[in-house]
Structure 1
Amino acid sequence: MRIGVLGPLEVVADGRPVDVGGFRLRALLIRLALDPGGVVTSRALAEALWPDGGPANPAPALHSLVSRLRRALPGRDALRSEPAGYRLDLPGDSVDVTRFERLAAQGHRALRQGRPDAALPALAGALALWRGEPLADAAALPFAASAAVRLEELQLGALEDRIEAELATGHRPPGGVAELEQLTAAHPLRERLRALHLRTLAAHGRQAEALAAFETYRRLLAAELGTDPGPDLRALHLHLLRGTPPTPLPSD
């Protein structure tokens, strides 16, 4: 069985989709899927499902939901009762979040070790798992909202790593500049994205546009934060002015 939460909830068993109906039931599965193989306490589940208090005695309501979820899942042994709570008894890679985090971390390590050729497929595989808004079916609940913020930050970091690996390996995706323009518009103060934008423009032979983009960012920082670009970005700007190949920026 595989569970996907990087988008609308998706449950697949033996190649066939499994329908899990009802908002609370889907939210319960999503919360358990965030910790595959780990015990989630009854208290943590109740707080996740009923953040405003819910039933006076949530234990019976939670037990009823768990029973319904067991009936909905193809393998009833996949959801186990534990003394402190409940456990989704699945390998970590059965859940797309876990696979994404593993592949993104693998790609990031390879990039830091100077192996962009090894980083690229791992990062591409991690990003391919995303199908839309993470934890979408439980987005109204605080636990999902906070987890989604963390996951979206990880996704953005993986995107930056993938673009860095593409530049290091000489890949020139046709939509690379447009992608970075969209990303910098969505995250205007994020300096690593700005650096990648400048480097991608330069890689496509658009040196003048790269210099203009630096000046736009410099003015934005001065207006919004009263600061200047960091030393790495200023060094990149100097390379662009001189027309020399830029030094790869650190991937953190």
Structure 2
Amino acid sequence: MDFRILGPVEVWNNGEEIPLDGSKQRTVLAALLLAGGRMLSDSHLCALLWGENPPATFNAQLYTYVSRLRKYLGDGVNIVRRRPGYLIRIKPGELDSEEFDRLSRAGREALRLGRYAEAARQLGAALELWRGPALANVTEFLADTQSYRLEEARMVALECRIEADLALGRHVQLLSELTGLVAERPLHEGLRIQLMRALCDSDRQADALGVYQDGRRVLAEELGIDPGRALSEAYRAILSGGSTGLVPAQRRHEVVALGR
């Protein structure tokens, strides 16, 4: 069985997708999967399904969603009733977010040890598991509680993969990707530093300084703040003709494991 939450919530078995009924059934499944084998109470599942305004028949509806999940998923998946809620038991390697977490951890450790080719490979494999925004077809109540955390973990892996590629001298290949990422996330100082690094390594110091100036302007206009220490140090390093002073991406973040 192949459970996927890094994108639309889907279940696949032997190369075929198992049909699910709708967003609420997918919400129940995704919430149980994200609990990592822990019990979720009926009241918590109710809040994820309907927010603060559940229907009078929410217990019956929740029972129906779980019953249908059991029917669709078959004997290979064990959804257990443990009062006052439910839990799901799946096999190791069946959930894409857990596999992402495993590969990301391995890649970040390889990066820490200076094994850059291994880090780029592991982190690249982790990022390939993403098929779009996580939890794309669940209720807003579940998405609001989990999507940001999942996206933060993805961004940590992405920055670390770029860090490994920079260490491998792939700065020219990274320029287009980094330019697009900075355009999408103009307030993200870590990506801006990495773009400055790639430009400097491509003998484009003036463009790197322009990236800093753009960032300083955006931060002032949007947030009313000055660039952070790492971005400021990168700017000063370029002016002095040295390296950009890039702080390794894995040291700029507190990484939260997925599904735990």
Give the whole-Å Cα distance in 2 for the aligned partners of 1:50 and 1:2: 27
- Range that drifts further, 38-47 or 50-59: 50-59
What do the CA deviations read for 1:89-147 (whole angstroms, capped 9, x no partner)? 10353111122223223322332343333321221111101101210111x42122221
- Equivalences for residues 64-143 of structure 1 within 5 A: 64-75=64-75, 77-138=77-138, 140-143=139-142
Q: How far did residue 211 of structure 1 move?
A: 1.7
Hey, what does 1:144 align to over in structure 2?
143
Hey, what does 1:171 align to over in structure 2?
170
| TM-score normalised by L of structure 1 | 0.88
2:137 alignment partner, SS class = helix
Q: Is the CA contact (8 Å cut-off) linking 1:39 and 1:86 kept in structure 2?
A: yes
Query: In the alignment, residue 4 of structure 2 is paired with which amino acid?
Result: G
- Range that drifts further, 80-89 or 237-246: 237-246
> How many correspondences in the alignment?
250
Hey, what does 1:2 align to over in structure 2?
2
What do the CA deviations read for 1:168-206 (whole angstroms, capped 9, x no partner)? 1222463x2222222222222221111101001122232
- Range that drifts further, 227-236 or 83-92: 227-236
- Equivalences for residues 49-60 of structure 1 within 5 A: 49-60=49-60
Q: Runs of 5+ in structure 2 lacking a partner?
A: 253-260
Q: Runs of 5+ in structure 1 lacking a partner?
A: none
- Range that drifts further, 191-200 or 72-81: 72-81
| TM-score normalised by L of structure 2 | 0.86
Structure 1 residues 225 and 18: alpha-carbon distance in aligned structure 2, compared to 1, 3 A threshold: closer
**Residue 155 (1) aligns with residue 160 (2):** no
Give the whole-Å Cα distance in 1 for the aligned partners of 2:5 and 2:229: 39
Query: In the alignment, residue 197 of structure 1 is paired with which amino acid?
Result: L
Give the whole-Å Cα distance in 1 for the aligned partners of 2:141 and 2:70: 24
Identity %: 37
